[in-house]
Amino acid sequence: MVSIRQCQRKFEIATRLAARSGYKNHATISDPSLQAPPQPIVETFFTSTVLVAIAEIGDKTQLLSFVLAAKLRRPYPIMMGIFAATLLNHALAASAGAWLAGLIPSHFINWIVGASFIGCGLWALKPDTLEEHPPLFGTGAFVTTLIAFFLAEMGDKTQLATVALAARYDELTAVVLGTTLGMMLANAPAVWIGEALAGRINMRKTRWLAAILFLLMGVWSLAGGIEFH
């Protein structure tokens, strides 16, 4: 006569065999409620970082970094000021992009974002100049950089790109962190190495590379290659 212990043992063996055969995994995957939703965080972060880093080279805010580094000669507070100004500015820009994405129907967002990227691409071909000397507020390198950089970034193409990226992607935090990292990657060498580095960068080729990337993103959006939610 089979004991209860033997039945339990046979049940455990059968359960292990079923698990090895993939039955349990198959049941889990076939259930839509148990499927993990797509998480494009890495894609969002990488795209935001690369696009803004390239677009920032030769931009007026990078030129501002050169000027601030030469005038203030305090790289650490300057870098902290650039980081704080960019994080605040791009958080506001990304919030505006996400708000627009929720307000406007997706098919209109498709066209708006595509046109914005194409506009950034054409804008990238135009050499940037710093028309005015950055204001020196007499309040230290950090505060001076924070205010000057924040104001210079207002209405800039990298800010517009941040709005478009936030409208494109659902991951608002990844957009802000990615664009901020892109700005830091472009401006850190400007602060630390200064004009010696600027003379070695082919600004014309860099502008064309940024323009091509923006134009490709714009065409892809207009062609419906990007899904909006």
- Give the integer Cα–Cα distance in Å for 118 and 29: 40
Q: Which residue range forms the structural domain that includes residue 13? A: 4-34
Tokens found for residue 73: 């000669």
- My answer on whether 133 and 114 are in the same domain is yes
Q: Are residues 11 and 121 in the same domain?
A: no
Residue 100 inside a domain? The answer is yes
* Whether residues 214 and 134 fall in one domain: yes
Q: Can you give the pLDDT at residue 136?
A: 56
Length of the chain: 229
Quick one: pLDDT at residue 16?
A: 58
The model's pTM: 0.66
Judgement on whether residues 76 and 156 belong to the same structural domain of the protein: yes
Q: How many domains does the chain have?
A: 2
| Together in a domain, 166 and 138 | yes
User: Is residue 168 situated within a structural domain?
Assistant: yes
Residues 173 and 209 in one domain: yes
Whether residue 24 sits in one domain with residue 72: no
Q: Is residue 229 part of a domain?
A: no
**16 and 94 share one domain:** no
Pair (107, 192) in one structural domain: yes
Task: For residues 64 and 175, state if they share a domain.
Answer: yes
* 227 falls within a domain: no
**For residue 76, is it within any domain?**
yes
Do residues 81 and 170 both lie within one domain? Answer: yes
CB within 8 A of 213, min separation 6: which ones? Answer: 50, 51, 54, 55, 121
Q: In the prediction, which pLDDT does 33 show?
A: 45
Domain co-membership, 112 together with 197: yes
In a domain, 228, yes or no: no
How much is the pLDDT for 110? 66
Domain presence at residue 98? yes
Q: 111 lies in a domain?
A: yes
Tens digit of pLDDT at every position of the chain (229 positions): 445 555 555 556 555 555 555 444 444 444 444 443 444 888 899 999 998 998 888 777 888 888 888 778 888 999 999 999 999 999 999 999 888 878 877 666 667 767 777 776 676 667 655 555 555 555 688 998 998 899 888 878 888 889 989 988 888 999 999 999 999 999 998 888 765 555 565 667 666 776 777 777 677 666 764 444 4
